[in-house]
Chains A and B, each alone.
With several copies, the nearest count.
Chain A
Amino acid sequence: MTDVTILPTDDTLRLIEALVFASAEVVPMKDISALLPEGIHADVVVKVLKARYAGRGVEVVEVAGGVAFRTALDLAPRLRKLIAKPRRLTPVAMETLSIIAYHQPVTRAEIEHIRGASLSQQTLDQLLELELITPKGRRDTPGRPTIWGTTAGFLSYFGIKALDELPRRDDLLIDRG
């Protein structure tokens, strides 16, 4: 944040509101900055917009390194029935995705070693189709296996700002029954 916070004008707010609202995808902060007058900071504008939509049916969320409008979480049970778009992952896919998120870049063999089970084509296809993972090149080891990593879509899918928002490793290793 800056020392002096200059509040955006209503005109600026409307413009950014329209920009973010128009998109189904996350709007990168730099795209917002590009439309702002000199001296106005994108994070201030986002803060004001967030406050304005707090408690409404649609909200401003900061996700995947940018900003997006999303429906309020508490409306989920009712909206789910109205907007049929089942894209929930299977437990196996969730586990595989977790391993990729944590160990990226990671090879298929490494994923299989951690899970102690082979990776099915179906699981790989599901993760690829939802654009949650992507190949990140090949590892310089014999056989040059493909290495996998998560995408910006992964962050957006789970409403995460950045990878460092994932729980810390120590917290995951603590065993409480």
Chain B
Amino acid sequence: MEPALDTAHSAADTLILHLDGFEGPMDLLLNLARAQKVDLAKISILSLVDQYLAVIADARKYSLELTADWLLMAAWLTWLKSRLLLPAPSDELEDAEAVAAALTERLAELSAMRKLSAWLGRRPILGDDVFARGMPESHEEIDSSGVVIEPGVFIRAYLRAMRRGAKSTGYTPKPLNFWTLQAALHSMSQRAERQFSWTDLQDFLPESPFNETERRAAVASTFLAGLELAKSGAVQVRQQEAFGPILLRTTPDGSDPAP
């Protein structure tokens, strides 16, 4: 910033003060207190106040712009000074003395922190005074071959699937009476073990009561079973005319029937 403010204070030495070089009112107060060259606990608060106010007055003379905290401190110190000097009821004087003591303590605290800061500054600072390994080697290996199966998640997934499955097929309380391909294969293979000559496909249908849909499904699965066994060489299939009856027989020389 522009005009530096020089002020001579009451002590013999001339302290050159540059207001803009201070961090704030406390910083200035601490510097003024240090200039008294005594133990901080023994500084004269009154002369400290006078010095501070002199600096502020000077700053105003040079029409330096002061931020609120500088002026606030000045006002507060003026109040403190008046309380300490003027004859007043004893309890008010005690108040003022307590406030002065608190200010001394604050200055001592700030001073202590400055010393700690200086102590830290003398430490070997990593990355400036001492250096760590520049190319660290990691011996850590991420193993992501595993998988988490939490029983709760597993169960919920199963129930979710079952619910969806039930919804999409439509839930029917009565089991479906479909003659499945597996059943047809099973039944036909069993009969093939005992050999049979040309037999109508219809004869392989089960005897259970079927409605029309179920009967046609049974015909289809029985026919598929026949084809499957024919493929494995266990039976032969014949149809003599279009839409005529489909006939099956076991393969005469009995090439090994598939199970």
Q: Which residues of A contact B (CB under 8 A)?
A: 18-19, 21-26, 61, 68-73, 76, 79-89, 91-92, 94-99, 101-102, 113-117, 130, 132, 140-142, 154, 156-160, 166-167, 169, 172-173, 175, 177
Contacts and interface: CB of A to CB of B under 8 A. Distances in A.
Contacts of B149: 89, 94, 97, 132, 154, 157-158
B159 interface: yes
Interface string B125-169: 111111111111111111111111101011101111110111111
Interface stretch (B78-86, B93-101, B105-113, B246-254): B105-113
List the 5 closest A-B pairs by CB distance, nearest first: A116-B26, A116-B168, A22-B131, A117-B24, A98-B158
Contact of A98 (B138, B155, B168): B155
Contacts, number: 250
B26 A115 contact: yes
Contacts of B165: 113-116
B154 A94 contact: yes
B143 A158 contact: no
B contacts with A: majority SS: helix
A101 B130 CA distance: 21
B121 interface: yes
A80 B164 contact: no
Contacts of A173: 108, 111-112, 159, 162
B74 interface: no
A59 to B, nearest CB: 8
